[in-house]
Amino acid sequence: AQSVTQLGSHVSVSEGALVLLRCNYSSSVPPYLFWYVQYPNQGLQLLLKYTSAATLVKGINGFEAEFKKSETSFHLTKPSAHMSDAAEYFCAVSDYSGAGSYQLTFGKGTKLSVIP
């Protein structure tokens, strides 16, 4: 089974600073990779996904992520943090489990705080 490691359970950045949230995965085959965002007391919202097309994936709200096979990484970045980016972010990988079925495996999440 796949596994996902998110480095840093809490990350703080100043407003206007670069946001970098790290995600590494284990995989023996090219994976499908996702970033989700969750605002307080809300559900999951898809930020972006990698499905073996372009390695640099652009998502909503100015976020992007780069798939690096050699590093088994899929880090999430945003050039300039905004107060509204404060949320919890989850990296996930889609894993084939047989019988045509896939499972989505999540990292433990990174809570992003933005300091004014």
Q: Which residues bind another protein (CB under 8 A)?
A: 6, 9, 32, 34, 43-44, 46, 49, 51, 90, 92, 94, 96-97, 99-109
**What SS3 class is residue 17?**
coil
Quick check: 2 and 31 in contact, CB under 8 A?
A: yes
Minimum Å gap between C-beta 70 and another protein is 22
Minimum Å gap between C-beta 94 and another protein is 4
> Toward another protein, which CB reaches closer, 34 or 67?
34
> Toward another protein, which CB reaches closer, 22 or 32?
32
Minimum Å gap between C-beta 19 and another protein is 19
> Toward another protein, which CB reaches closer, 16 or 30?
30
* Cα–Cα distance list, 26 to 33, 85, 103 (Å): 11, 27, 14
In sequence order, which residues have a C-beta less than 8 Å from that of residue 8 and are 6 or more positions away?
Answer: 21, 22, 110
What is the CB neighbour count within 10 angstroms for residue 102? 12
